[in-house]
Structure 1
Amino acid sequence: MTENPATSGLHEGDHWLIAGGTGLIGSALAFELLSRGAKVSIYTRDAEKAHKLFGDTITAITDLNSLPDDAGFSHIAHLAGSPLAGGCWTKARKQSFFDSRAGISKQINDFLKRQTKKPQVLLSGSAIGYYGDMVRGTADEHSPAGEDFMATICSSWEAEAEGARDYVDRLIKLRTGIVLSEKGGFMEPMTMASKFGLGATLGSGEQWMSWITLEDIIRLILFSVYDTDISGPVNATAAEPVRQKDFQKQLSKKLNRPQFMWAPAFILKLFLQDLSDLFLTGQRVVPQVAQENDFRFNHPTLKAAFKAIL
């Protein structure tokens, strides 16, 4: 992973608490921190899973109330959240989206209120769904929240995180785009379908996809955390958003596969119901904070990203 100057602030005395440390982003962050000599604790419901993933290199915590008032974490990252894909959005699943995001933020706030020493940074996850479905225009960190379901989730998550502002030196709200990685996540089903010639234009294909590679989002997290001038919202996306149809075209071309499939919007809505919003809506987002602070993406274009991960 190419070094960024701001990460020079990381040292062996740092002790990170990561909620969501067994997920795609959280685990990659934990492994990177461990490789740099930091101490890492994982807040998780499944301690066995955490130790299976990291061995004895981390401390697994299942209850924040069990921790003392002088736990001594230098940095906290809340990257937890139940997966949005994987099944229809029933009423119970929708509630779990809130509970696993804003609910855990509240638990972290309660923990922070009784700490005798402030952590330097709370990095609270969010997503570019905060901006709502964008048919036109471009969003940066100053753009207002949308009004659809995903925007409501992200807004509630960020609002709960704001409750921690008095108990940490800095609060960063990481608004994550589509994360591209060879380790799974969004790219796994997309790549599999494309390899079999089943890559499809979804609906009109005009919906925007704002993306970032897993490597670059980990670099951006460390850059933001260790650059003391950065606080508030940070868009975790590369500077080249693309239309869904163009994303699929480039992916099929990279895999040397044809692309002729089309999934009409009404078919997706019929079978996926509310879940279809994940595929039929999008946001055109630019990483203004990253750019203003001279962050350098290793994979600034989709072509470079596919070359790295495929």
Structure 2
Amino acid sequence: LLTRHGHFAVPATAGGDDIGRRRIDTHLHIFNSLGVEMVHNGRFEMKTNGRLRGKDILLDEASVTATENGVMAASLAEGKTILRNAASEPHIQDLCHLLVRMGCPIDGIGSNTLTIHGQERLKGAEYTVGPDYMEIGSYIGLGAITAGELRISGIIPEHLRMLEMVFADRLGVRMEMEADAASATGWSLILADEQELRVRTDFGGAIPRIDDQPWPAFPPDLMSIALVVATQAKGTVLIHEKMYDGRLYFVDKLVAMGAQVILCDPHRAVVVGPSQLTGQQITSPDIRAGMALVLAALAAKGKTTIGNSQQIDRGYQRIDEKLRALGAKIERVD
């Protein structure tokens, strides 16, 4: 909007998932550094005096969306922009590769330092977006706790290294990747139809920890999925959600279903498994917790009703249709 129109205003209220405070200061720092004038008077008003001007910018956190905003703004800025401590997740790499095809050279794609050579104009381009490793990770959890054979086609193996380390090495999920010429990427992931989920302890038998960090570490958006898988694994594990102070508040719904989970504080929960889950009437608080509750419902005895399902739809397209195709008994109700 800034590069096209030079001025815009948006409400100052936050939206999206209710998973705790998510600051926008990194976004504002980038825009201010590029020459954007900002006024906050109940809403954000931003304007530019001509083209944005490239600058060497150090981000105070490796924010995914701030990096994306910075890259897009810098692509039409005058001169060179360097983003240091930038996020480098696969979807950011996709955005950068698209902008390169549109005529904006970008150095350092996939690293934490991006150099964007701004252009006066961009051209149209065709680009195929890569697979969503968050959705893949969610289906890994699905196959793990339902012990049903599952093939996920079109994966990119290097995107799943930390997922494999947590789900397979830490929680005992039986999964393997294999070459698949029929898939879009040439690779598929297969989950075995027999699972013996077991928590692997740390050296000396210490209780292990699963935590989240920026890419390439385990992503925060899959912590809810890992927690539900842990309820079905034999052993004890500490789930440490470092990034969001409201992510773990959905565990009371799992406890109501029969899970043995102790919420130590807003960032840590101890899970003891396996637990027999039973169906309940619950509500989805956010996208990932909602999907985690769907997994729990599929592993539970009896009927589960999940309210606020539109939250799940925001992150998982036609989830009920896909699950029915896999044999799940699931339907939408008014």
Length-normalised TM-score, structure 2: 0.27
Is the radius of gyration larger for structure 1 or structure 2? 2
Would you tell me which structure has more helix in proportion to its own residues?
1
Would you tell me which structure has more strand in proportion to its own residues?
2
